[in-house]
Amino acid sequence: MKRIYYILGIVGVIALAIGIGYFLRYRSGAPSPSSGNAFTGTLPTETTAGGGSGQNNGNETSGQGTGTNGQTPTPTISAGQKFGVISQSSAINFYVDAQNNAILVRPTGQIIKVSSGNPSVLSSSAIAGLIRADFSYDGKKILAVFGDSSNPQESVFDIDSKSWQPLAQGLLSTTWSPDDYKIAYFSNINGSSALSLQTLDISNSKAKAVELMKLNVQDQILDWISPNNIIMSDRGSAFTSGSVWLIDTKNKTLSQLVNGYSGMESIWSRSAGMGLLLSGNSLTNVGGKLSLTNPEGNVINSLTFLTLPSKCTFDTEIQNPTSTVSTSTTATTTKSAAQKQPPVTVKNYLYCAVPRDSQKLSVSSLPDDYEKMALFTLDNFYKIDLSSGNVTSVFADLNQKLDAKNLGVFNNTLLFINRYDSLVYAISLK
């Protein structure tokens, strides 16, 4: 009997050691969520339009392809149609206005406008070495970054005047303000290793740059998420640790949100008050975990599926808005009962393109392999309710060859760029 107890004791010690090792390994991959929350974040089981399970990896291949399984894509998405492309023109970025006019920036720098499927040229000027093109908060201006990435040139295109405004050379990590035509960026300081973080009002030709602070940083990404807050983060790699910082533009202060996670990549909501953070596994340098983080850097919840933040977008829906009926009275009138107004409900969602092959990302170095075009995926699309964690399917079809990036929600439509053909696709959310 003592021998049995002795053997059981050894087994228990081994099991405990394995459990502790697994726990530590898990902690190295991502921060732990807060406890006591019913948030689920679990993908539903799919039966796709093309047949079969949505988690099947289908005929997934690495490297670029063209079209959708070799077929010519649908020319335009129309009323009553769930899925299609909005133009046969390739794009590196896009914006859709309230009238459903799409503005596309082509990889060669030309800018076109697509109205009801009909394209028109806004700018025919080619831009050599175009790195990226970012739209202002209202889509009226486009910031083009081109040339040498270490010392880029930048110019702003005005949609209404169809004219270009060149900016000073050497602005780094430029980002638009979320509610006006200011930009924030880093600028080199002569004779110093530090960079100057500055803002500039593009709409005022006489405006001068305003310095917020000097920082000893390199290769940072800036994201101006609210009028007084800019997110600054290291460029993520599975092989280096990264940090995320919050810059208060009003008080000119800097505070750390996240520190010491490898493979870090994040996107931040401008209305939901949270970010989506990818953190890698520092032991294996592959895979990673997704978590929702608040503005203080604390983890709100973890998601059970794996994708890249660059394949997701936040969206806010305002339901049952109040009417414009006035209920005010004057001193000369008799006060009447206020007309009952419908309640206003604000709902925050996260839309994500998630690879059907759940193992493909878990064995890849993230985000490195994806950014180097060494990794391609076949995606299904999901909507996550950020209050409950409920996940619903938006689109899943094994017949479609989609690797989505640059997701955005416009006019009840989810749009994205397909990495296989660089066309802008649309999925109706109605």
Q: Which residue type occupies 66?
A: T
Per-residue pLDDT tens over the stretch 89-120: 999 999 999 999 999 999 999 999 999 889 99
Q: Which residue has the higher pLDDT, 5 or 186?
A: 186
Per-residue pLDDT tens over the stretch 372-413: 999 999 999 999 999 999 999 999 999 999 999 999 999 999
What integer is the mean pLDDT of 244-259?
Answer: 94
pLDDT surpassing 50 at residue 347: yes
In a domain, 17, yes or no: no
Q: What is the DSSP letter of 321?
A: P
In a domain, 23, yes or no: no
pLDDT confidence of residue 186: 97
Residues 363 and 372: their CA atoms lie apart, in Å, by 16
Edge-to-edge order in the sheet of strand 391-395: 312-319, 345-355, 379-385, 391-395
In a domain, 162, yes or no: yes
In a domain, 332, yes or no: no
Residues 210 and 231: their CA atoms lie apart, in Å, by 18
Q: Which residue has the higher pLDDT, 75 or 137?
A: 137
Of all residues in the chain, the percent with pLDDT exceeding 90 is 66
Range of the domain at 310: 40-320+343-428
In a domain, 218, yes or no: yes
pLDDT surpassing 90 at residue 292: yes
Q: How far is CA 165 from CA 92, 143, 158, 207, 265, in A?
A: 20, 9, 8, 14, 31
Please, what is the Cα angle at 64 between 308 and 70, to 5 degrees?
115
pLDDT surpassing 80 at residue 293: yes
For residue 381, which of 370, 366, 391 has the smallest C-alpha distance?
A: 391
Per-residue pLDDT tens over the stretch 117-126: 899 999 999 9
Per-residue pLDDT tens over the stretch 124-144: 999 999 999 999 999 999 999
Least-confidence region, from 27-31, 187-191, 198-202, 373-377: 27-31
84 token code pair: 């299609």
Is the preceding omega at residue 342 within 30 degrees of 0, hence cis?
no
pLDDT surpassing 80 at residue 8: no
pTM: 0.82
Of all residues in the chain, the percent with pLDDT exceeding 70 is 78
Per-residue pLDDT tens over the stretch 15-73: 434 343 433 333 334 444 443 356 777 888 776 444 334 444 434 433 443 333 334 44
Structural domains of the chain, count: 1
Residues 6 or more apart from 164 whose CB is under 8 A from it? 123, 125, 155, 156, 157, 158
pLDDT surpassing 80 at residue 191: no
In a domain, 285, yes or no: yes
Q: What is the CATH number of the domain that holds 137?
A: 2.130.10.10
CA 87 to chain centre: 22
For residue 353, which of 394, 412, 411 has the smallest C-alpha distance?
A: 394
- Per-residue pLDDT band for 328 (boundaries 50, 70, 90) equals very low
Q: How far is CA 222 from CA 173, 231, 389, in A?
A: 6, 6, 28
Q: How far is CA 47 from CA 360, 382, 413, 429, in A?
A: 20, 13, 22, 18
Residues 110 and 87: their CA atoms lie apart, in Å, by 14
Least-confidence region, from 36-40, 47-51, 77-81, 193-197: 47-51
The DSSP string of 69-125 is TTBPPPS---TT--EEES-SS--SEEEE-TT--EEEE-TTS-EEEEETTEEEEEE--
- Torsional sign, CA 417, 420, 421, 425: negative
